[in-house]
A and B are shown apart, each in its own frame.
Chain A
Amino acid sequence: MTRSVTDHESSASPGPQPGVTQLTVSAEDRRVAWLATAAVGLSLIDAAIPSPLPGVKPGLANIVTLVVLMRYGWGTAVWVSVLRVLAGSLLLGHFLAPGFFLSLTGTTLSLLTLGLAMHLPRRWFGPVTLSVFAAFAHIGGQLLLARAWLIPHDGVFLLTPLFAAAALVFGTINGMIAAKLLAESSEDPPCPKPSASP
């Protein structure tokens, strides 16, 4: 995402010295950073919500992923999600712990699913569809990884109905929130947030 520029004059900063590799930050980078920050914030809230069963979480950060997917496309959604998983795990202290890999697998699978599901006709299938698909893919990926690596016993799949039910409920709710946000932001003039430079 970040390009290295050697002989390209950027408008904001003074020109790079010859031979010095300088990183310029594009508007796209800023936008990804802002959106990833929002997603990380939501995943922190997610982690703070007590859950009756480890693994059952609302997955609020997926709202951001959905909105990004619908507005900026799949590539940006991948960036925002991957940054969210990395930064979120660093903040929560489970970077490279089992929870991180579960999260990464779930996110990867749901991004791939989203990549396919986003080509469904928009007139018929809205963010709720995408959200439900992503939620099922997420939990499916996590269950498979857990079975293959963490708990090598078919007993893990006993939890499938509970996880699937949670995925359906939270997937639907998150999708509706994303749909609401998208509907509201399309009424207003384009959101000015990313343009303000810090």
Chain B
Amino acid sequence: MKPWLALLQPGDWLVVLGGALLVGLSIPMFWQGGLADRAIIRQEGKVFAEVDLRTKRQLEVSGPLGVTLIAVEPGRARVVSDPGPRQYCVRQGWLMRPGEIAICAPNRVSLQIAGRTRVYDSISY
């Protein structure tokens, strides 16, 4: 190991340490809020179900327009079908990051992903 370390010049050490710092900083930057572990489904603003994102299951939530079908898989969840006219929440596809949310407004159903820590979608002062 000794002869190999001799190949590193002082600046090289700096660059390697700086790189390690950059990698360390990138973790909280890109993995903010930790990993997704729960899906919170709301109907009329009240929590309808809180599902662990480790199992695979489907939920049917009934709202004023009909039934919204939600699929939960390990690490992700999505709205499979919704009676709403514009299908925005369905077209959002899989949600996998904490803080992501799909809102089926006409049927008053929302699906949100939560992690260990709370993520803010906006901050005001």
- Chain A contacts to B: CB under 8 angstroms: 120-121, 123-129, 132-133, 136, 155, 157-158, 160-161, 164-165, 167-168, 171-172, 175-176, 179-180, 183
Identify whether the interface residues of A are mostly helix, strand, loop, or mixed: helix
Taking a contact as CB atoms under 8 Å apart, the answer to whether B96 and A128 are in contact is no
Taking a contact as CB atoms under 8 Å apart, the answer to whether A171 and B19 are in contact is yes
Among the 9-residue stretches B7-15, B45-53, B54-62, B108-116, the one with 4 or more Cβ atoms under 8 Å from chain A is: B7-15
- Chain B contacts to A: CB under 8 angstroms: 4, 7-12, 15-16, 19-20, 22-23, 26-27, 29-31, 96-97
Q: Give 7 closest A-B pairs by Cβ, nearest first.
A: A124-B11, A125-B11, A179-B7, A128-B12, A126-B9, A168-B19, A129-B15
Q: How far is the CA of A12 from the CA of B26 in the complex (A)?
A: 57
Q: How far is the CA of A165 from the CA of B22 in the complex (A)?
A: 9
Please name all residues of chain A whose beta carbon is closer than 8 Å to the beta carbon of B26 when the two chains form the complex. Answer: 160-161, 164
Taking a contact as CB atoms under 8 Å apart, the answer to whether B15 and A132 are in contact is yes
Which residue from A132, A164, A179 sits with its C-beta under 8 Å from B16? A132
Please name all residues of chain A whose beta carbon is closer than 8 Å to the beta carbon of B29 when the two chains form the complex. Answer: 160
Please name all residues of chain A whose beta carbon is closer than 8 Å to the beta carbon of B10 when the two chains form the complex. Answer: 124
